[in-house]
């Protein structure tokens, strides 16, 4: 390993390397020797940092002239090497974009990823909002939807929904003029376009071109309606980003709201491990790949070096503000409220479930079983897994029942429980914190007996449809919770998903049998 004394005291980047000569962490520092020395000499690090230190077999460094250069270099090195322990800024939710294709007669599409030479607008949090915008713009400006221009006009043209470039009803120039009106609207500049169209409408009316004037009037009305549909509007002439975060259990939950010309409706969510410099790392990595607005509203002051870096990237002034009161402070609070709802909303349900079932730990991983058949035929079972109260579909499983004939749900449950947890034992995989059975006391007892045969002590309950009573082993009476109780709502949510998954598999088998 490199000697500490050989590391310079200048600004730069340090690279931690493991036994496989792989870079596992990259950081930047004002004083390289001091920063690396702090890593190796201090004992009160967080668990993640302790893990990184235990894996270090070598340290490399690259010196720079100043901190801004170090920031730029750090970001480039992270993107190139993708170190395991630097924060991963993959958006925790994939929202769709509106894509404007680069064709002679461009189209408006929904895109999940920003790939290709098209122009992308968004992402849009609300699918309804996105689809409404697409509908209004396509209808108002008669944008074509066909993937390939046909040889004759389609139904949309006859319904006055398409300008029909396929039969030369519109020139490339005139079509381009319409697209030039669409782009600013997608960028939130609808007021400017409305003023332009109003001037054209007055001119057309003055020249007695009433048909054109009516067309322009309808376009203006559609754009005004579209503007009214926006979720929230603020009177600003520049773009803003609003960032807030919450730290819980060594995890950072961060949310960023994009404000485009005063319109606030898009958000991005991130989740990553906590480190002392996580906020600075986030700003550097995020804004190296995304547009930098004129103003960024943040919950804490931003280091002057970071600010210099952002200004250099934007090639213009960047303002960061930590509001203490007023509308901007309320917006920060709104972002925080959204974080609590998006990331931690179900944590209260899990805590309530732990309390009501007298569990030793919060049931972070819950598995639920359900049986589905048609009068005793095509009997199948479903297994769904919820992780932190969120469906983990990579761990969903479906089973054909092998040992049971006819209608016998209790033995079908016993079979599938045995198969599931025998496999986990064999493959040495982790067990869930709670098992839920869709059924009554009989289904619960059969499932519990299979767990005992496997010497497993996993908390298990069942929920019976109808009265929604919860059965717990060794309890003489079922547990009855208020309909509004958060624990019951979570159990019902998981049970309903297992039921849906089982029925869909049963239908699939029946369809296959029918074709046979």
Question: Which of 4-8, 235-239, 375-379 is predicted with the least confidence, judged by mean pLDDT?
Answer: 235-239
Q: In the structure, what pLDDT confidence band is assigned to residue 266 with cuts at 50, 70 and 90?
A: low
Q: 43-66, pLDDT tens digit by residue? A: 778 888 889 999 999 898 888 878
| Residue 183 confidence (pLDDT) above 50 | yes
* Structural domain 240-339, CATH architecture: 2-Layer Sandwich (3.30)
The Cα angle at residue 364 between residues 363 and 369, in degrees rounded to 5: 70
Mean pLDDT of 374-380: 74
In percent, how much of the chain has pLDDT > 90?
31
Residue-level pLDDT at 516: 56
- 292/484 Cα distance (integer angstroms): 44
Which secondary-structure segment (H or E) carries 311?
helix 304-314
Return all residues near 265 (Cβ < 8 A) that are at least 6 apart.
124, 125, 126, 129, 230, 231, 232
Q: Answer whether 389's CB lies under 8 Å from 341's CB.
A: no
Longest C-alpha distance within the chain, in Å? 90
Instruction: Tell me the average pLDDT of the chain.
Output: 83
pLDDT tens for each residue of 323-346:
998 878 888 887 888 787 667 766
Q: Which tens digits make up the pLDDT trace of 454-498?
A: 999 999 999 988 789 999 998 888 999 988 888 998 999 999 999
What is the predicted pLDDT for the residue at 181? Answer: 80
Q: Is 331 helix (H, G, I), strand (E, B) or coil?
A: helix
pLDDT digits over 395-425, tens only? 899 998 888 877 888 999 999 999 999 999 9
- What would the DSSP string read from start to end of 187-221? TT-HHHHHHHHHHHHHHHHHTT-HHHHHHHHHHHH
* Both tokens assigned to 25: 């962490």
* Banded model confidence at residue 234, pLDDT cuts 50, 70, 90: very low
Pick the more confident residue, 443 or 133.
443
| Res 143 pLDDT > 90 | no
Q: What pLDDT, on the 0 to 100 scale, is given for residue 99?
A: 87
Domain spans in the chain, listed from the N-terminal domain onward? 4-81, 96-228, 240-339, 350-515
pLDDT value, residue 135: 77
Evaluate if residue 235 carries a pLDDT over 50. no
Q: What is the pLDDT of residue 342?
A: 67
Q: State pTM to two decimals.
A: 0.47
Of the candidate ranges 77-81, 165-169, 193-197, 244-248, the one whose mean pLDDT is the lowest: 193-197
Q: What is the dihedral of CA 153, 154, 158, 161, to 10 degrees?
A: -110
CATH 3.30.420.10 fits 4-81, yes or no: no
- The tokens of 467 are what? 């009265």
- Residue 137 scores a pLDDT above 90: no
**The pLDDT value given to residue 233:** 37
Same fold, 240-339 and 350-515: yes
C-alpha gyration radius of the chain: 30
Structure tokens at 60: 């490399």
Q: Which CATH architecture has domain 350-515?
A: 2-Layer Sandwich (3.30)
* Measured distance CA(363)–CA(350) in Å, rounded: 7
How far, in Å, CA of 364 to CA of 351, rounded?
10
d(C-alpha 26, C-alpha 397), whole Å: 39
Give the Cα separation of 120 and 96 in Å (integer): 10
């Amino acid at each position: 390993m490199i000697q500490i004394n050989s590391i310079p005291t200048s600004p730069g980047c340090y690279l931690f390397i493991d036994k496989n000569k792989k870079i596992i962490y990259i950081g930047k520092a004002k004083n390289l020797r001091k920063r690396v020395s702090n890593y190796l000499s201090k004992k009160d690090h967080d668990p993640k940092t302790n893990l990184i230190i235990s894996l270090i077999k070598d340290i490399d460094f690259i010196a720079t002239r100043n901190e801004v250069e170090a920031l730029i270099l750090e970001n480039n090195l992270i993107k190139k090497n993708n170190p395991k322990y630097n924060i991963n800024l993959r958006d925790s939710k994939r929202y769709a974009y509106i894509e404007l294709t680069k064709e002679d007669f461009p189209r408006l599409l929904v895109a999940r990823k920003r790939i290709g030479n098209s122009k992308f607008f968004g992402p849009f949090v609300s699918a309804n909002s996105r689809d409404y915008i697409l509908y209004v713009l396509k209808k108002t400006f008669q944008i074509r939807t066909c993937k390939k221009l046909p040889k004759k006009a389609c139904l949309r043209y006859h319904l006055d929904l398409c300008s029909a470039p396929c039969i030369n009803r519109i020139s490339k120039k005139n079509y381009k003029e319409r697209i030039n009106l669409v782009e600013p609207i997608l960028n939130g500049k609808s007021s400017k376009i409305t003023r332009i169209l109003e001037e054209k409408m007055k001119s057309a009316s003055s020249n007695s071109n009433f048909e054109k004037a009516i067309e322009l009037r309808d376009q203006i009305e559609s754009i005004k309606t579209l503007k009214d549909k926006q979720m929230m509007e603020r009177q600003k002439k520049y773009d803003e980003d609003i960032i807030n975060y919450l730290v819980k259990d060594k995890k950072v939950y961060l949310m960023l709201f994009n404000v485009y010309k005063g319109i606030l409706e898009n958000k991005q969510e991130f989740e990553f491990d906590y480190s002392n410099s996580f906020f600075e790392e986030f700003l550097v990595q995020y804004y190296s790949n995304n547009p930098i607005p004129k103003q960024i509203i943040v919950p804490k002051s931003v280091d002057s070096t970071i600010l210099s870096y952002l200004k250099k990237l934007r090639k213009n002034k960047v303002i960061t503000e930590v509001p203490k009161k007023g509308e901007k402070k309320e917006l920060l609070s709104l972002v925080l409220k959204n974080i609590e709802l998006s990331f931690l909303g179900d944590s209260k349900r899990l805590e309530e479930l732990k309390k009501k079932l007298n569990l030793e730990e919060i049931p972070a991983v819950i598995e639920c079983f359900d049986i589905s058949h048609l009068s005793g035929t095509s009997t199948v079972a479903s297994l769904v897994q919820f992780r932190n109260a969120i469906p983990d579909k990579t761990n969903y499983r479906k089973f054909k029942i092998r040992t049971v004939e006819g209608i016998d749900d209790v033995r079908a449950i016993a079979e599938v429980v045995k198969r599931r947890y025998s496999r986990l034992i064999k493959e040495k995989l982790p067990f869930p914190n709670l098992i839920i059975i869709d059924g009554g006391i009989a289904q619960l007892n059969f499932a519990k007996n299979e767990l005992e045969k496997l010497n497993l002590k996993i908390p298990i309950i069942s929920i019976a449809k109808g009265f929604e009573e919860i059965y717990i082993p060794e309890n003489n009476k079922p547990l009855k919770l208020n309909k509004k109780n958060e624990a019951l709502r979570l159990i019902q949510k998981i049970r309903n998903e297992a039921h849906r998954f089982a029925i869909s598999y049963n239908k699939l088998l029946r369809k296959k049998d029918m074709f046979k």
